[in-house]
Amino acid sequence: MDSTTFNKFQDSVSKVLVRHKSILDVVTKYQESCAKVNRAVVKSATSCGCIKISAERQNIPDDASYEELSGYMSSHIDGAPCDVCRDKIEKEMGNHLFYLAALCNTLDLQLDDILKSQLKNIDTLGKYSLY
């Protein structure tokens, strides 16, 4: 996805978001949309059953190097979202992105600038970019 797509998306959001213009509406809708993403993932396990969540302590050998860590880390997910669940999760993620763009518009921030800055941090700092 190039810069043009992010800028077009943010511009389109600014044109269609009329009803929830207040920062209070935007931040609460943003939070609500995040909860809906999480709920769609959980419902894939608890309603549909296409995924199973089997969480347990990560089993990492004491002498494992940082480079070896990803080989020992588990997502705790068995299976994969079916087409119906995948569609629902993607829809909720899209809605979440909508309100992220709306929050950027309300605060006069450019989503594309934020993504570029974050990408630069990741490329420059690698594993040290995480906090």
Min separation Cβ 33 and Zn ion, Å: 20
Helices (H), the chain: 3-16, 23-43, 66-72, 83-106, 111-125
Min separation Cβ 122 and Zn ion, Å: 31
Q: Are 111 and 101 in contact (CB under 8 A)?
A: yes
Among 27, 34, 50, 97, binds Zn ion (CB under 5 A): 50
Nearer to Zn ion, 32 or 87 (CB): 87
**Three-state DSSP class for residue 76:** coil
> Is residue 102 within the footprint of Zn ion (CB under 5 A)?
no
Nearer to Zn ion, 76 or 120 (CB): 76
**Three-state DSSP class for residue 53:** strand
Q: Look up residue 111 and give its amino acid.
A: L
Nearer to Zn ion, 10 or 44 (CB): 44
Cα–Cα distance between 81 and 128 in angstroms, integer? 31
Among 85, 89, 100, 104, binds Zn ion (CB under 5 A): 85
Give the CA radius of gyration of the chain. Answer: 18
> Is residue 93 within the footprint of Zn ion (CB under 5 A)?
no
Binding site for Zn ion (CB under 5 A): 44, 48, 50, 82, 85
